[in-house]
Amino acid sequence: MDIPDSPGSRSRQQGAGFLAAVIGVTLWGVQLPIGKDAFAAIDAYHVTLIRYAVGALMLLVALALSEGFAALRYNGRGLQTGVIGLVGMCISPILTFIGMSLSRAEHTVVIVTLQPMITVIAQWFINGRRPARFTLACIGVAFTGVVLVVTRGQLAMSETGRELMGDLLALGGAACWVFYTMSISRLAGWSALRVTALTLIPGALGTALFTTGMVIAGLSVTPSWEAVESVRWHLLYLALGGVFLSMLAWIYGTQRIGPLNAALLVNFMPVVAFSVRAIQGHPVEPVELAGAALVILSLVANNLYLRWRAVSAREARVRPDVPGVDEVR
């Protein structure tokens, strides 16, 4: 039997972490086409509400069983956690799902995959940390890929105005999720499971209030039981697979293989979504596949570049004759 810190034990942990992260990414990639199909019976507001309300209950139970009931307390961080949760777990999914209801699941998943690049740009403007030239080039290539996917290679946007609006809303949802991921570092000392569960509570409550307001304003209609029943398996997957299981798998995997390796796997979400749509019989234009490929390749290339820079930085600290990170560009 290997001791906990032995190479064999670490190898098995990394293998299990890799598998868990792949499962999480696959569940996320599948949920967008499934969510798109659910919109035929229930609008995006109620789909989001059901998905996050059920998912939140499941995560709270998992947190209480894992860390005890004391972990359910905010300990003076209620306001801060509430704001982070509202943006990341309420505004972000609402914008994403509304955008997808106006556009296509394939478009949304490509836009969501841009989050690492959006993070780089946000850090540039907020912290003044200018990205390396290679990263900026990758951002340009990724943006070109998204344009190809959204426009399908057509410069005239008159026929895709509705889809364009949906894609812009999805982009706003992705930006809100970037805010969430950049802000949760303020909740230091909490486990990833606790952060997810306690930010999901205000997110679910915010979604409930927003949906109620839309119903009162006449912009949404509470779905009938028959409508809910007609897409019950879709809703079950969105809550159980898209929120609960995917988050647990992602947390487990990220803790064992690291955020950089996990981010690399996220880049393959479009592959999953496009494959599901193709199996469902939805036509996919070659130019859309080409655009998605540009996005994936640019993100993979930048991830590998960041790995190389990290290695160079470590070598520079150990060997003075190795150029520093700022010199290797």
Note down pLDDT in tens along the chain; length 329 residues.
444 556 666 677 778 888 888 898 889 888 888 988 898 899 989 999 999 899 889 999 999 999 999 999 999 999 999 999 999 999 999 999 999 888 877 788 888 877 777 877 887 887 777 878 888 888 788 778 777 776 766 655 445 678 888 889 999 998 998 888 888 878 888 888 898 899 999 999 999 999 999 999 988 899 999 999 999 999 999 999 988 888 888 878 877 777 666 766 777 777 788 788 878 777 777 877 787 788 788 878 877 887 787 777 776 665 554 444 343 33
Does residue 4 fall inside a structural domain? no
pTM of the predicted structure, to 2 decimals: 0.78
Calpha distance 38→232 (Å, rounded): 9
Instruction: Look at residue 307 in the predicted model and tell me its pLDDT.
Output: 74
Does residue 7 fall inside a structural domain? no
* C-alpha count within 13 angstroms, C-beta hemisphere, residue 138: 22
Looking up tokens 């999480």, which residue turns up? 24
Calpha distance 146→169 (Å, rounded): 14
Instruction: Look at residue 208 in the predicted model and tell me its pLDDT.
Output: 94
For residue 269, what are the domain limits?
15-327
| Count of domains observed in the chain | 1
Looking up tokens 């890799």, which residue turns up? 18
Does residue 91 fall inside a structural domain? yes
Calpha distance 49→243 (Å, rounded): 12
Provide CB contacts within 8 A for 219, sequence distance 6+: none
Calpha distance 96→109 (Å, rounded): 9
| Phi then psi dihedrals of residue 128, to 5 deg | 75, 20
Instruction: Look at residue 114 in the predicted model and tell me its pLDDT.
Output: 78
Calpha distance 260→237 (Å, rounded): 28
What is the full DSSP assignment across 81-99? Answer: HHHHHHIIIIIHHHHHHHH
Instruction: Look at residue 326 in the predicted model and tell me its pLDDT.
Output: 40
Instruction: Look at residue 169 in the predicted model and tell me its pLDDT.
Output: 93
Does residue 3 fall inside a structural domain? no
Reference 42, options 280, 204, 224; nearest CA is 224
Q: Where are the alpha helices (DSSP H) in the chain?
A: 7-38, 44-67, 78-86, 92-102, 105-112, 115-127, 133-151, 161-183, 192-216, 225-230, 232-236, 246-257, 259-266, 269-279, 286-318
Instruction: Look at residue 198 in the predicted model and tell me its pLDDT.
Output: 93
Instruction: Look at residue 235 in the predicted model and tell me its pLDDT.
Output: 93
Does residue 36 fall inside a structural domain? yes
Does residue 141 fall inside a structural domain? yes
Does residue 9 fall inside a structural domain? no
Does residue 112 fall inside a structural domain? yes
Instruction: Look at residue 323 in the predicted model and tell me its pLDDT.
Output: 40
Calpha distance 242→121 (Å, rounded): 27
